Amino acid sequence: MPESRPHRLSFTTTCSLDQVRPAARRLSEFLRTAGCPGEAMAECEMALVEACNNAVIHAVGQTAPVRIEIVAEPGAVTMEITDHTPGFPWPQPPTLPGPEVENGRGLFLITAVMDEVEYIRGSRQNTLRLRKLL
Amino acid sequence: MKIDIQGDTLRISGLKELGAAESNHFRDEARAAMGKDQRNLEIDLSQTSFVDSCGLGALIALHKTACSRNGVVRLMNPKPSVSQILQLTRMHRIFEIVNA
């Protein structure tokens, strides 16, 4: 990051798969403006998409928006994705399913491209905190 | 998305993104376009800027369809960001990936 001042972006997105890619594009534009390197930007985009997909797909019976907070600073990008799903026990570590299985790769991908992953499961909301070192 | 048939191969091109929002539609369109004579799928990823795990799921579903007909799925010219997700998830083990 060329500047020492942290850049911050915070927004909510509708609990819909159609809104995941627009949210990722918003992240990319923000990181581009902040001077984030291209490879790290693509990996942050991948992790955000997988996190938001999970938040939407597991939001059975509720439509509360997903909240996204991003801080870009010299040396790191931090993203927090907060949903209102029942949540789930985070696998330690997430593993790949068999090659013929059609789902279940999202958490593996998130941990593969992020340097720090913390899942805080609450009674009313859950926050996934992701950190990418630059 | 553009679909062409050439002999025993269904060719798909013009995919801009293959994410959760469009993966089911993509899978169903491809399957519906496969006639009884098509057993292979050739998917041009040269214009595809993004694939997520749901998009991978659609590709795996098509792989299973092709396998049931003794065919294969070829992924043509994926961009670096798409190659990365294919490698991370070891999809290069089940798909033919062609960089021409």
Would you say residue B45 has pLDDT above 90? yes
| Closest alpha carbon within chain B to A95 | B89
Q: Which of A14, A49, A58 to mutate to test the interface with B (most CBs of B within 10 A)?
A: A49
Q: Residue B64 and residue A100: Cβ atoms within 8 Å? A: yes
Would you say residue B14 has pLDDT above 80? yes
Q: For residue A2, what pLDDT is reported?
A: 56
Would you say residue B24 has pLDDT above 80? yes
| DSSP assignment letter at B77 | S
CA of A8, closest CA in chain B: separation in Å? 25
**CA neighbor of A81 nearest in space, from A109, A42, A55, A45:** A55
| Closest alpha carbon within chain B to A97 | B89
Q: For residue A63, what pLDDT is reported?
A: 80
Q: For residue A3, what pLDDT is reported?
A: 59
Distances, alpha carbon B7 to alpha carbons B11, B37, B41, B62, in Å: 10, 7, 11, 18
Contacts of A57 in chain B (CB under 8 A): 20
| Closest alpha carbon within chain A to B57 | A102
Would you say residue B42 has pLDDT above 60? yes
Q: For residue B28, what pLDDT is reported?
A: 97
Q: What is the pLDDT of residues B67-80, one digit of tens each?
A: 999 999 999 999 99
User: B34 and B65 in contact (C-beta within 8 Å)?
Assistant: yes
Ranges of chain A with pLDDT below 70? 1-4
Q: Residue B19 and residue A21: Cβ atoms within 8 Å? A: yes
Contacts of A56 in chain B (CB under 8 A): 20
Does pTM top 0.90 for this prediction?
yes
Please list, in sequence order, all residues whose beta carbon lies within 8 angstroms of the beta carbon of residue B9, skipping any fewer than 6 positions away: B38, B39, B40, B41, B42
Across the interface, of B17, B89, B94, the residue whose CB is closest to A109 is B89
**CA neighbor of B93 nearest in space, from A89, A79, A96:** A96
Q: For residue A59, what pLDDT is reported?
A: 81
Q: For residue A1, what pLDDT is reported?
A: 61
What residues are paired with B42 via a beta bridge? B11, B74
Enumerate residues 17 to 36 of chain B having a beta carbon within 8 A of any beta carbon in chain A.
Answer: 17, 19-21
What distance in Å separates the CA atoms of residue A55 and residue A61, rounded to the nearest whole number?
12
Collapse the DSSP code of B97 into the 3-class scheme (helix H, G, I; strand E, B; otherwise coil) and give the result. Answer: strand
* Amino acid letter for position A91: P
Q: For residue A83, what pLDDT is reported?
A: 93
Share of chain A above pLDDT 90, in %: 82
Would you say residue B20 has pLDDT above 60? yes
